[in-house]
Amino acid sequence: MLTINQDRTKQILLQLQETDTDFSITFSGKRSSKVNGLYRWELHEVIIHNKNFKNDNQLIYTAIHEYSHHIMWCKYHDIGKVPGHTNEFWSIMYNLIDKAEAQGLYKKYPSDLAKEEMQTLVGKTKKIHEQIASLYRELGKTIQDIRKKTEEYDVRLEDIITRECQINVRTARMAEQASVYSITEPLSQDIQQLITSQKDSIKIHSIIEGAKQGKTIYQVKEHLKTETQKPTNNENYWRRRSMATLTALSNLAKASIANSGAAEKIVDIKKVLTQGICHALGKIHEGATVCEVLEEAEISRETAVVCEVAEKDIERLEDAFRKIASTEAK
């Protein structure tokens, strides 16, 4: 049964996030089989078909959805085009849903019984999705075996994958990438697929941490954008970068040991990297600048390029590299 009114709905939305431009809430008093609500940007009006809902929580969810469109309008209307259901939109919406739930303004479940029964099904669904991700990695390993055999017998890999296995090349490539990453976390296939699209270790670490915190894939993707904007002289950033690098290296080590038995070599690499990273962080903690640490390690921009350091990391260190180069020139 609905007890909420238009004024209270607007009050809840403003409690979650205020905007520079005012807006109105209108309950249409109708039932719609097409949509639960809509946002009229030219009037800054959130219209909700309140007859579609059986309780306040269902209505609040739709209200937050439409309000997210208003937030997007406030952010983008100056450039002449307001994005629709983009990843940023969904991230904004689910951030507001999280906030509403934390503040007791929105309840996902109407009763403990509903929560108990639904959580059982949710757990089963997540388990199946994790199994799909695991099978996807297994698929990647099998495709790698096919790749080796096609090379051994001079057979076209694409022909076998596409016509015999009936798998498109993109799917095969992504499955192989998943197997190489040696992901051990119980993650969904969607999150795993996002991980395999990344080369930056700190982004991979960020994805895994976001998933563990229960964030949606939209929120995780949007958070990745902030990872490219961290200041290079920030100690906390470099500490997280180091931890992410070690995590990625650890996963690589597990994969390499499993595939080739090269345990001693991987352990030696990890040992050297761990010592180097800890030494650098210790120096920064004592007050050394990034330039001083790079100079002591004799790492120039050219060295970073040769060692295949990620382009984003080189860009972040560009000022430091230029300063080192100018000092050496003198």
Q: What is the pLDDT of residues 4-61, one digit of tens each?
A: 999 999 999 999 999 999 999 999 999 999 999 999 999 999 999 999 999 999 999 9
Task: Provide the CATH topology of domain 6-102.
Answer: Zincin-like (3.30.2010)
List the chain pLDDT tens, one digit each, 330 residues: 899 999 999 999 999 999 999 999 999 999 999 999 999 999 999 999 999 999 999 999 999 999 999 999 999 998 888 889 999 999 999 999 999 999 999 999 999 999 999 999 999 999 999 999 999 999 999 999 999 999 999 999 999 999 999 999 889 988 988 887 767 778 889 998 888 888 777 788 888 888 889 999 999 999 888 765 555 555 555 555 555 555 555 555 555 445 544 444 444 555 656 766 777 777 777 777 888 888 877 788 777 776 767 777 888 888 888 887 877 665
**CB 193, CB 211: distance < 8 Å:** no
The tally of CA atoms less than 13 A away on the side-chain side of residue 264 is: 0
Give the largest CA-CA distance in the chain: 78
292, two tokens: 């001083």
Under 8 Å between Cβ of 17 and 98: no
As a whole number of angstroms, the distance between CA 238 and CA 280 comes to: 9
For residue 261, the model assigns a pLDDT of 43
Q: Where are the domains of the chain?
A: 6-102, 112-197, 235-329
Q: What phi and psi, each to the nearest 5 degrees, are found at residue 57?
A: -65, -40
Q: What is the pLDDT of residue 243?
A: 56
Give the full edge-to-edge strand order of the sheet including 37-40. 24-27, 45-48, 37-40
46, β-bridge pairs:
25, 39
Q: Length of the chain, please?
A: 330
pTM for this entry: 0.69
List the Cα angle 269/273/278 in 5-degree steps: 150
